[in-house]
Structure 1
Amino acid sequence: MTKYSVAVDIGASGGRLILGYLENGILKLSEINRFENKMVKKDKTFCWELDQLFQEIKNGLKLFSEIEMKPDSIGIDTWAVDFLLLDEEDCPLTEAVSYRDPRTDGVMEEVFKLVSKERLYLETGIQFQKFNTIYQLFSIKQSNPEILEKAKSFLMIPDYFHFLLTGKKVNEYTNSTSTQLVNAFTKKWDYQLIDLLGLNNKMFKEIQLPKTILGTLAPELVSELGYDMKVILPATHDTGSAVLSVPEEDAIYISSGTWSLIGVENDDPICTEMAMDCNFSNEGGMDYHFRFLKNCMGLWMIQEVKRNYNDKYSFAELVELAREAKDFSGIVNVNDDCFLKPDNMIEEIMNYCMKTKQAIPTVPGEVAKCVFNSLAASYKTAVAEIEGIFEKRFDKLSVIGGGCQNELLNQLIADVTKKEVYAGQSKQQPLATLLHN
């Protein structure tokens, strides 16, 4: 009897439910429901609308009743670092604040006054980014300490959705490591660090590994959907799930989406001074492997450019316009804080080019070409750092995620890294294999 599984993948710009099953040993996938996700501003704070997202998950699951196909299991992944705090009655104490919210401005430096940067990296192995969970929690401690005191449960976004499905509260391993509060060697919450920062250590739940069966749906959901199924933890950090699909062995990968995650899989964490200086992360992966990677700016920039042009151009049209602007060579530092959440991405790009005395992009094609040039340049730097840390050359680079469909960007990556670039998730039939020009 065929068993059907549902994968729910939610990113910063949208989500989808995918039905998967095996047919003659071949994995078959079918998209069931696709929906939008975006930040909203509530009382000057940028937040996620989790109730709406969970409703979309249920909308997708209800479709199975219509087609008389009952899935056997479900698992959910999302982006990392963001979370909810629940009170003793399991009600959210705050909105689901986005990592792009400015509440963490300057907080990382305040944390360094209590615990050194070197100790943080040696123990957690996580890249320093001002929006990491550790700094979000510390900003709450500074501004609203009573919220932390009331918190009975700390749940990251996919943990919260799994709680809504089952009524069970756990913290999944791969996403928990992104908090910068998990010890890279013990693979447990670093309670010494948590206590040093004065955070509520009782709100953190038991860390569970991917493939853990949480149980079945809560009774009220069974009544609403008309069927039951198992809830199984995937690697709930979307990158943790994505890199499992990398087809090429001994290759650097780029998980290309709103963010670009560039790295390799490794058996052990690399918490060296060189890795810290290059700001690489040792994120927990499946079966206690580590994703040694750097989190770089990704297609968020072109998403914002598209929005700033009032969605006049599709992503495909922006790529073609960039291709026509082939002579435009301007490059910005995509990892500069000015591009994290600007009021207007196009203006920010133009201002950066003006300040750095480069040609200023004035038409959509030049703006898009500047974004793609700049992303490729940041990848080149990260690739060189990886090869320096591992003291070896990698000949292959595998691009996965939505960005693998951008053939122009893939070619630019091949050109600047001088590597063979594979685009797509099928080893037998890659979407593209590009040799640098």
Structure 2
Amino acid sequence: MAQQAQEARTDCYAAVDIGASSGRVVVGYVEDGLIRLEEVHRFDNRQVRRNGHDCWDVELLSSELVRGLARCKEEGFAPKSVGIDTWGVDFVLLDAGDNLVGDAVAYRDARTNGMYEVADAIMAPEEHYRRCGLQRQPFNTIYQFLALQREHPEQLEAADAFLMIPDYLNFLLTGVKAVEYTNASTTGLLNAETGAWDETVMEAFGIPRRLFPNVTHAGACLGPVRPEVAQAIGYDTRVVLPATHDTGSAYLAVPACEPPAVFLSSGTWSLLGVENRSPICSEGAFRANFTNEGGYHFRYRFLKNIMGLWMIQSIRRELNGITYVVDEKAIRKGRLHQYMRVEGLGHEIGFPDLIKAADEAEAAGVVASIVNVNDDRFLAPDSMIEEICAACEESGQPVPGTLGELMLCVYESLVRCYRDAVAELAALAGHEYASINIVGGGCRDGHLNRRTAELCGLPVYAGPVEGTALGNLAVQMLADGVFPHLKAVRAAIAESFDVQKVEP
């Protein structure tokens, strides 16, 4: 029950965690040595079609951010600080008057098609990896800049500042322009060794250094919120930078049971890897397409970016007739109808229904067709169901004819990718791993956890679910002296939240 407004709790912190599909505001505090969480606001994140591109609705995000902070007060909290984390790579440009230049184009937009060839003619991909250590993905910020140079060079001319999505939301709260390290490391413009902008890369690619504030690190306080923000939310607070890249925050919350452990942040994307003290920019790492993303306090997240639950989320949206991008053309039908007629599912299909369908197909002895979940064809298809079926047909495998066969195809394809990534990781590290630790929403998927343990031959430790919000709050608590160091925070997380062990 909410406390009375005059009794608002002030020994607490607010994590604003925004993913590709939804966002929420979570309040955290320590009580009797345990970390307690209360979600006070949840909202949809959406993309809109603007000027021929799929874009983030940053106006919606900013209004929901303020609404969520106001809900804190309504629920009896006045957080000492606020931290924001989101996905990586995407950005906005501001002019000298702090107005947006162009749109906040989303990473799944097709504008970066063909940019590999353009980039490789400028700098060999091996050299770029040696300098920046970033996994080759078509949506990396550097490729977005190349696309922008060709389509809208006038926007770069008019721009005065570059901010990534969480940096822009922080700017709206405080008026301070700062680019945080963990998110900056997803751009392909940051030097992996120094942690600073790589001016050699920027000069080679014609990207103006003048746009980029010097990198700021997690734990820094940007200052108090603007007076008008304080008035709107009903209290004064300050903004502290967490690891603003959501995976950076999620990795902070991994209890690391049974080390040496592989970490898996399981959500829209599956980020599978380990935490290192130095980057690995070797030829082997480049060939295996592993990335070195920045972590809290000069750590490196050495990981592989795997398509993750995006395919499952997309299937669920299609079955319920929901489009991902507002004003997008209607989802193509076809095989979709036969899945919707499955007895007992109806039209309001949830994730438990999809898991059950996969379980039943497995129990019936269905042999799953396998697709490459990291194929770019699954990044933003008009219909995920049709794309999966087409991939099976093109490879000469049985086309899924039921929902259970479809889901088993996705699950088995995903866990095989996990298995291969763990093997690659062990080869690069020179030693085997003892467990897989999964945090995030995907850790609730019992089918996925079980098959991951079975196929990888390692115990899976599933939890906590609220990994990203916990990591966000952990940095704020460290900055405020609630915990003396990261090890103490992780110990408190392990004590405060259930972790389920799944044997192989």
Range class of TM-score, shorter chain: over 0.9
Instruction: Return the offset for 1:304.
Output: 0.7
1:43 shift after superposition: 3.0
Of 280, 284, 290, 1:280 maps to: 290
Identity of aligned residues (%): 45
Indicate which of 426, 433, 436 corresponds to 2:501. Answer: 433
The 2-side partners of 1:2 and 1:100 are apart by: 39
**Conservation of the 8 A alpha-carbon contact between 1:81 and 1:131:** yes
Q: Does the Cα contact within 8 Å between 1:2 and 1:22 map onto a contact in 2?
A: no
Equivalenced residue count is 436
Tell me, in whole angstroms, the C-alpha distance in 2 between the residues paired with 1:235 and 1:64.
22
CA distance in 2, matches of 1:43, 1:164: 24
TM-score, normalised with respect to structure 1: 0.98
Deviation for aligned residue 1:74: 0.2
Give the number of the structure with larger relative contact order, counting CA–CA contacts within 8 Å between residues 6 or more apart: 2
Q: CA deviation at 1:354?
A: 1.0
Given that residues 149 and 200 in structure 1 are in contact (C-alpha distance below 8 angstroms), is that contact kept between their aligned partners in structure 2? no
User: Which residue, out of 353, 358, 365, partners 1:317?
Assistant: 353
Aligned to 1:372: 411
Letter in 1 for 2:355: V
1:127-177 per-residue CA deviation (whole Å, 9 max, x = no partner) reads 011110000011111221111111111000000000000000010000001
Query: Corresponding residue for 1:289?
Result: 299
**Residue from 278, 289, 313 that aligns with 1:303:** 313
What aligned pairs does 1:70-149 form with structure 2 within 5 A after superposition? Answer: 70-149=78-157
Paired letter, 2:393: M
Of 372, 376, 383 in structure 2, the residue corresponding to residue 337 of structure 1 is 376
Match of 1:348 in 2: 387
Determine if contact 2:443/2:463 at 8 Å carries over to the other structure: yes
**1:68 to partner: Cα distance:** 4.1
How far did residue 355 of structure 1 move? Answer: 1.1
- Measured in 2, the distance between the counterparts of 1:384 and 1:290 equals 19
Q: CA deviation at 1:108?
A: 1.9
Aligned to 2:52: 44
* CA distance in structure 1 between the aligned counterparts of 2:445 and 2:430, rounded to whole angstroms: 30
The answer to whether the 8 Å contact 2:371/2:409 transfers is yes
One-letter code aligned to 2:145: L
Provide the rounded CA distance (Å) in 1 between the counterparts of 2:454 and 2:270.
Answer: 18
2:267 to 250, 257, 260: 257
Looking at structure 2, the residues matched to 244 and 42 of structure 1 have their Cα atoms a distance apart, in angstroms, of: 36
1:416 aligns with 2:455: yes
Structure 1 range deviating more: 320-329 or 406-415? 320-329
CA offset at residue 2 of structure 1? Answer: 5.4
- Quote the offset at 1:11 in angstroms: 0.4
Greater mean deviation of Cα atoms: 174-183 or 225-234: 225-234
| Offset at residue 226 of structure 1 (A) | 2.3
1:211-245 Cα deviation digits (max 9, x unpaired):
00000001111222221101000000000000011
Contact 1:194 1:200 in 2 (8 A): yes
Is the aligned partner of 1:267 residue 2:281?
Answer: no
1-structure distance, mates of 2:42, 2:498: 24
**1: distance between equivalents of 2:499 and 2:47?**
32
Q: Does 1:66 align with 2:74?
A: yes
- Cα RMSD of the aligned pairs, angstroms, is 1.3
1:405 equivalent in alignment to 2:448:
no
Asked whether the equivalents of residues 2 and 21 of structure 1 are also in contact (C-alpha less than 8 Å), the reply is: no
Residue 432 of structure 1 deviates from its aligned partner by 2.2
| Per-residue Cα deviation, 1:346-368 (whole angstroms, up to 9, x for no partner) | 01111111111112112222211
Give the Å deviation of 1:64.
2.9
- TM-score (norm. length: structure 2): 0.85
Aligned equivalents of 2:263, 2:42: Cα separation in 1: 26
- Measure the CA separation in 2 of the matches of 1:11 and 1:29: 18
Structure 1 match to 2:201: 193
- Provide Cα deviations, 1:397-437, integer angstroms capped at 9, x if missing partner: 0111110000100111111111111110364564421111x
Q: Determine the C-alpha separation between the residues in 2 that align with 1:73 and 1:143.
A: 40
Structure 1 regions of 5+ residues with no counterpart? Answer: none
- The letter of the residue matching 2:287 is D
Which stretches of structure 1, 4 residues or longer, exceed 3 Å deviation after superposition? 426-431
Q: Distance in 1 between matches of 2:10 and 2:223?
A: 20
Instruction: Tell me, yes or no, if the aligned pair for 1:422 and 1:430 is still in contact at 8 Å.
Output: no
Query: Which residue of the other structure, out of 217, 224, 232, is the alignment partner of 1:209?
Result: 217
Q: In 2 relative to 1, CA 218–2 (structure 1 residues): closer, same or farther, beyond 3 Å?
A: closer
Letter in 2 for 1:398: N
Contact 1:108–1:130 (CA under 8 A) maintained in structure 2: yes
Name the counterpart of 2:24.
Answer: 16
